[in-house]
């Protein structure tokens, strides 16, 4: 093996003394001083490279630094992943769930207020209680949905709109109630105004809020399962550097193994395998938290929102008494989005198709589809009776949930089914996301330990070689 | 000593720099200017475009002259025969105007003076008041509903005039109202003349809205779908007054004791039943029914709904050609 002259060991004393910064760098501006120092350091490094022990010392320093940086980066990255997963379950998903509850509560309040209007005589206590619960829930869930420190200006704007107008809405309904009690038609006018406020101002804000929170959740999920490229490059680069150093040492010294460096390489390989296994598991589980959890929940929530809109249209159709063609059209549109033409299509069918492997959810969704079919049937009956001039009978079929054939009963059952299904989807999300977090357990500390072991290995291994030049 | 002072000065300078640095920031903006604009009824429009009356007003002579009744017999093939066969008389009415056509929240049924007139026609034609199938329509929808055949007749505080006669037929006059003004009891307004530059409410497509817009005092017209929407805007302080037929205003004053009807009647609004233009036989039939009820049922319904607020009155005399 030819040995180049440049690689001849020199006694350390003969190393050219590092150049002292001369007076020229003194008295100059700080920036120039820094540039001068950097140049000086560069020259020193280049000079060291020309001798073997100098080169070994440089390699040793570089490797130790790279190992420490890699270990630290990997530890920070995996900690960030762990945090990202717990943010999903602790914050993003509850926010999205709160936002959908705000929408549901407000929309249900509006449908309930219209139903109370259709009822005759004294307002049914159950409807009144339901309305008041809805308003209370809207307030509580709005406060939860608003507790997002990362909320952007758009989200804040929607929350402001809802917060501002829900009390106004409730007051209008109260005024409507007071007028209704005295038999004054002004009550109906207040109710119409309230409903207009809800439909044109409050609910669009609630829908936008839900959409923003759902989008944020999806973005964080994508972030949580993204490939950590920087860390990957560092780890692979470190491994390559370790192997190259060992090859170089083998060539220089004819010794096959350097225990320190082998230990370091082993530690990094362990880290790489552990991280790969953990991150792939985590990514798959986050994927499941999407496909079986949040995406399914979103589908069901959208079905529920479409159902609530259709229910409001159904009651307003009767409130408008004869001139409600626009409500009939909107009902058809929303109902079709929710459940297709006959109750077996639309979002419910999509959700059902995605739930094939989850028996419990599939069962609930079968029930929901049956309820939707029953509702559409009851709605046809309402329309038929109304068309025949049997207005009071039509109103009774629409709002009296004690009747077997009423659309109120079918709608309520559908809402219960959807609530159960949504809870189920949320549970799937939570389970998968929690498992994803568990897959990363100890990994950050593992990287701290492995990084230190590897750095120690490099230092010891290189020190042994360097010592031979003393 | 000098040195110490210099150090003190330096320290002070640094401290003041730090302090001013802090003071340059602001507390987080909590949007102190939160205001909730009061909501308005659906489709409320301030200062809407109002179509000018097409052509001359007087080109039909006296618009209240209707077709002469020819008894209540129903020849086969007539409009009445068709209605009888389907067993429903579809009537366009109001469900938001107190005393004339409104929904009674206790029963869910429509009630009022107009509703009684419609029911009387249904009783004569089909034998039962419940044979009248009511469709609630807005002022704006009245003529289209008749033209499209959605309703057989419209009984909805509808003023007979030449412009409307171009599109539809009217029965003989069954009531004569006149436009007045509804204001707050505490206000000093006496008529539309005092309301220049103020917002005054009426329904879209009503003669009242046009009269407000054409008033020389130049009030700002506000158009809504239903009369009770005007009352809501009045109670919310969004309009200064409501101006329409005294009958409708009386119904609103009944619902809110803080309001009063002021001024003289400055228009005459003869109410007629609207009927599609091609159904002349129906016009004659309805006129025959009106002739029959002018004696008894008209008075009974008037006394029930309107006498307490408008005083005694008797049915107007019909004019025929």
DSSP secondary structure letters along A6-21: GG----GGGSPPPPPP
Contact between chains at B255 and A179 (C-beta distance less than 8 A): yes
Give the ipTM: 0.85
The topology (CATH level 3) of B179-262 is D-Maltodextrin-Binding Protein; domain 2 (3.40.190)
**What average pLDDT score do residues A230-254 get?**
91
For chain A, say whether B34 makes contact (Cβ under 8 Å): yes
Name chain A contacts of B34, Cβ cutoff 8 Å.
Answer: 160, 164
Higher pLDDT, A326 or A303: A303
Name chain A contacts of B41, Cβ cutoff 8 Å.
Answer: 189, 192-193, 196
Name chain A contacts of B83, Cβ cutoff 8 Å.
Answer: none
Name chain A contacts of B42, Cβ cutoff 8 Å.
Answer: 192-193, 196, 200
Chain mean pLDDT for chain A: 88
Tell me which CATH homologous superfamily contains domain B58-176+270-320: Periplasmic binding protein-like II (3.40.190.10)
Q: What angle do CA A264, A269, A271 make, to 5 degrees?
A: 95
Burial class (CB in 10 A: 0-12, 13-18, 19+), B296: exposed
Chain mean pLDDT for chain B: 88
Query: What does the DSSP 8-state code read for residue A201?
Result: I
Name chain A contacts of B134, Cβ cutoff 8 Å.
Answer: 321-322, 391
What residues contact residue A117 under an 8 Å CB cut-off, 6+ apart? A176, A180, A187, A188, A191, A315, A319, B105
Query: pLDDT tens digits for A10-40?
Result: 444 444 444 444 444 444 567 787 888 888 8
- What is the pLDDT, as a whole number, of residue B248? 93
Same fold? B58-176+270-320, B179-262: yes
Contact between chains at A201 and B39 (C-beta distance less than 8 A): yes
Q: Which residues of A touch B (CB under 8 A)?
A: 117-121, 160, 164-165, 168, 172, 179-190, 192-194, 196-197, 200-201, 320-323, 388-389, 391-392, 395
- What is the pLDDT, as a whole number, of residue B14? 56
Position A269 pLDDT exceeds 90: yes
Name chain B contacts of A179, Cβ cutoff 8 Å.
Answer: 255
CB pairs under 8 A between A and B: 101
- C-alpha distance from A79 to closest chain B C-alpha (Å): 31
Query: pLDDT tens digits for B150-176?
Result: 899 999 999 999 999 999 999 999 999
Please tell me which residue of chain A has the smallest CA distance to B36: A164
Name chain A contacts of B105, Cβ cutoff 8 Å.
Answer: 117, 120, 180-181, 183, 187-188
Where do the structural domains in chain B lie, given as residue ranges? 58-176+270-320, 179-262
Query: pLDDT tens digits for A350-391?
Result: 999 988 888 889 999 999 999 999 999 999 999 999 887 788
How far apart CA B135 and CA B20 sit, in angstroms, is 72
Which pair of tokens denotes residue B295? 């004696």
Closest residue to A189, CB basis, from B31, B136, B229: B229
How far apart CA A372 and CA A383 sit, in angstroms, is 16
Closest residue to B106, CB basis, from A120, A201, A391: A120
- What is the pLDDT, as a whole number, of residue A21? 46
């Amino acid at each position: 093996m030819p040995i180049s002259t440049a690689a001849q060991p020199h006694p350390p004393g003969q190393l050219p003394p590092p150049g002292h910064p001369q007076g020229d760098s003194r008295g100059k501006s700080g920036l120039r001083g820094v540039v001068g120092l950097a140049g000086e350091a560069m020259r020193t490094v280049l000079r060291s490279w020309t001798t073997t022990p100098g080169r070994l010392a440089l390699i040793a320093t570089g490797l130790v630094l790279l190992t420490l940086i890699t270990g630290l980066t990997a530890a920070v990255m995996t900690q960030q992943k762990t945090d990202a997963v717990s943010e999903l379950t602790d914050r993003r998903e509850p926010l999205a769930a709160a936002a959908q509850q705000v929408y549901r509560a407000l929309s249900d309040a509006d449908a309930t207020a219209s139903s109370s209007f259709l009822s005759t005589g004294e307002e049914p206590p159950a409807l009144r209680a339901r309305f008041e619960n809805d308003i209370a829930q809207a307030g509580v869930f709005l406060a939860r949905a608003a507790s997002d420190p990362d909320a952007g200006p758009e989200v804040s704007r929607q929350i402001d709109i809802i917060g501002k107008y829900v009390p106004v809405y409730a007051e209008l309904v109260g005024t409507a109630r007071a007028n209704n009690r005295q038999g004054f038609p002004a009550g109906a006018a207040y109710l119409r105004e309230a409903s207009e406020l809800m439909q044109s101002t409050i609910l669009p804000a609630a829908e936008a809020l839900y959409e923003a929170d759902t989008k944020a959740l999806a973005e964080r999920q994508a972030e949580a399962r993204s490939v950590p490229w920087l860390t990957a490059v560092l780890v692979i680069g470190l491994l390559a550097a370790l192997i190259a150093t060992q090859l170089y040492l083998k060539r220089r010294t004819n010794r096959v193994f350097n225990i320190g460096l082998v230990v370091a390489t082993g530690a990094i390989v362990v880290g790489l395998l552990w991280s790969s296994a953990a991150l792939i598991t985590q990514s798959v589980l986050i994927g499941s938290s999407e496909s079986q959890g949040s995406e399914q929940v979103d589908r069901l929530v959208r079905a529920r929102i479409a159902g609530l809109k259709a229910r409001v249209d159904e009651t307003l159709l009767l409130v408008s008494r004869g001139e409600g063609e626009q409500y009939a059209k909107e009902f058809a549109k929303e109902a079709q989005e929710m459940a297709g033409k006959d109750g077996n299509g639309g979002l419910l069918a999509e959700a059902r198709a995605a739930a094939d492997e989850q028996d419990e959810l599939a069962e609930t969704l079968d029930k929901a589809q049956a309820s939707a079919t029953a509702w559409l049937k009851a709605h046809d009956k309402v329309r038929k009776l109304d068309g025949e001039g049997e207005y009071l009978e039509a109103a009774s079929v629409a709002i009296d949930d004690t009747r077997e054939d009423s659309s109120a009963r079918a709608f309520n059952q559908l809402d219960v089914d959807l609530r159960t299904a949504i809870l189920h989807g949320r549970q799937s999300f939570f389970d998968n996301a929690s498992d994803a977090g568990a897959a990363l357990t100890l990994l950050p500390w593992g990287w701290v330990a492995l990084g230190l072991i590897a750095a120690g290995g490099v230092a010891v291994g290189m020190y042994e070689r360097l010592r031979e030049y003393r | 000593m000098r040195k110490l002072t210099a150090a003190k000065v330096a320290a002070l300078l640094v401290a003041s720099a730090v302090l001013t640095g802090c003071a340059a920031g602001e507390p987080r903006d909590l949007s102190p200017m939160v205001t909730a604009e009061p909501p308005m009824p659906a489709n409320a429009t301030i200062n809407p475009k109002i179509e000018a009356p097409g052509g001359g007003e007087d080109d039909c002579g006296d618009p209240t002259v209707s077709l002469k009744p020819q008894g209540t017999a129903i020849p086969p093939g007539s409009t009445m025969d068709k209605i009888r066969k389907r067993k429903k008389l579809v009537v366009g009415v109001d469900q938001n105007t107190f005393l004339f056509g409104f929904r009674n929240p206790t029963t869910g049924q429509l009630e009022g003076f107009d509703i009684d007139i419609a029911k009387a026609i249904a009783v004569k034609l089909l034998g039962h008041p419940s044979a009248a199938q009511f469709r609630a329509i807005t002022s704006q929808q009245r003529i289209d509903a008749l033209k499209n055949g959605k309703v057989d007749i419209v009984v909805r505080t509808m003023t007979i005039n030449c412009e409307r006669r171009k599109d539809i037929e009217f029965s003989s006059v069954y009531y004569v109202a006149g436009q007045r003004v509804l204001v707050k009891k505490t206000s000093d307004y006496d008529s539309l003349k005092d309301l220049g530059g103020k917002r005054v409410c009426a329904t879209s497509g009503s003669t009242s809205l046009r009269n407000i817009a054409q008033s020389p005092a130049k009030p700002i017209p506000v158009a809504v779908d239903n009369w009770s929407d005007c009352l809501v805007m009045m109670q919310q302080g969004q309009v200064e007054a409501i101006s329409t037929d005294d009958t409708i205003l009386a119904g609103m004053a009944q619902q809110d004791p803080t309001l009063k009807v002021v001024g003289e009647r400055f228009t005459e609004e003869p109410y007629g039943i609207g009927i599609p233009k091609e159904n002349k036989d129906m016009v004659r039939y309805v006129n025959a029914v009106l002739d029959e009820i002018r004696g008894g049922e008209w008075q009974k319904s008037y006394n029930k709904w309107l006498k307490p607020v408008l005083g005694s009155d008797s049915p107007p005399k019909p004019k025929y050609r």
